[in-house]
Amino acid sequence: MHDTLIDPATLARHLGEPGWVVLDLRHDLADPDDWGRFQYRRGHVPGARFVHLDHDLSAPKTGRNGRHPMPSPEAAAALFGRCGIDASTQVVCYDQGGGTMAARAWWMLRWLGHRAVAVLDGGYVRWTREGHPVTTEVPSPAPRDFRAGAPLPTADANEVRASLDARSLAIIDARPAERFRGEVEPMDPVAGHIPGARNRPCTLNLLPDATFKDAATLKAEYDALLAGVPLDRVVHQCGSGVTACHNLLAMAVAGYPMTRLYPGSWSEWVADGTRPVATGAA
């Protein structure tokens, strides 16, 4: 079973096996409707099903629940069933490179109790660079009965806000440092961060070639970041609950048990003007 990362050579050996399903999560936040679909039509891993971040992995937006609201467990289970996934399936998720989009699907499957899911380390760029096959053929998967387990616990805005005075949660923000500090904000109407949050840009999980750092390096880095905080107090967030999943994946690679996600993240937090906002590095 592969439950964190998988390399292209290993995936290539299993292409076409009935117990394996590959999901293509390529997506561009600056061109959310068309870019991923266009890339998929140009070429993809043979047998891969295209899954859209906005249309498949997110619930409808209300204006107060963030940019990529988490779908209900029932809706997510129905999606994965349509993709041909059941309890016996090994799932592999990939995006263009570093795994920031693929990690969202990885986390959602883990959230619903499906352990056999991994992210393609280095993504489609590494897959093609290493000479593995691509196709433009679109598969027609036979639906399967995906039975969700009890969802993993998450955090919500009320719990995060209630924790601020006592700093009872260790909130890990996966956004770039300049967004965390409030110097720029390209996606959301308010710049800054949740007071007391710690910044761990998800790009720090990667080497220059967009593959993950080794487990020992990630363990040392997250040990230093958390500084002994009990893991049940760790909550991950980002702009909209997507790239935070990359930090959850990195911690899993490092050998940590699953910690919690705040799915609404910054875009939900700032939708309520009464919630406090901090700026600067600390």
Active site residues: 238
CA dist 160 and 162 (Å) reads 5
Closest by CA to 115, choosing from 123, 127, 106, is: 106
Chain centroid to CA 258: how far?
A: 13
Give the CA dihedral 140, 97, 74, 109, nearest 10 degrees. 100
112 to 71, 102, 172, 219, 221: CA distances (angstroms): 12, 16, 22, 25, 28
Q: Is 60 left (phi over 0), alpha (psi -120 to 50) or beta?
A: beta
Would you tell me the crossing angle of helices 73-82 and 102-111 to the nearest 10 degrees? Answer: 110
Query: CA–CA separation, 27 vs 122, rounded Å?
Result: 15
End-to-end alpha-carbon separation of the chain, Å? Answer: 40
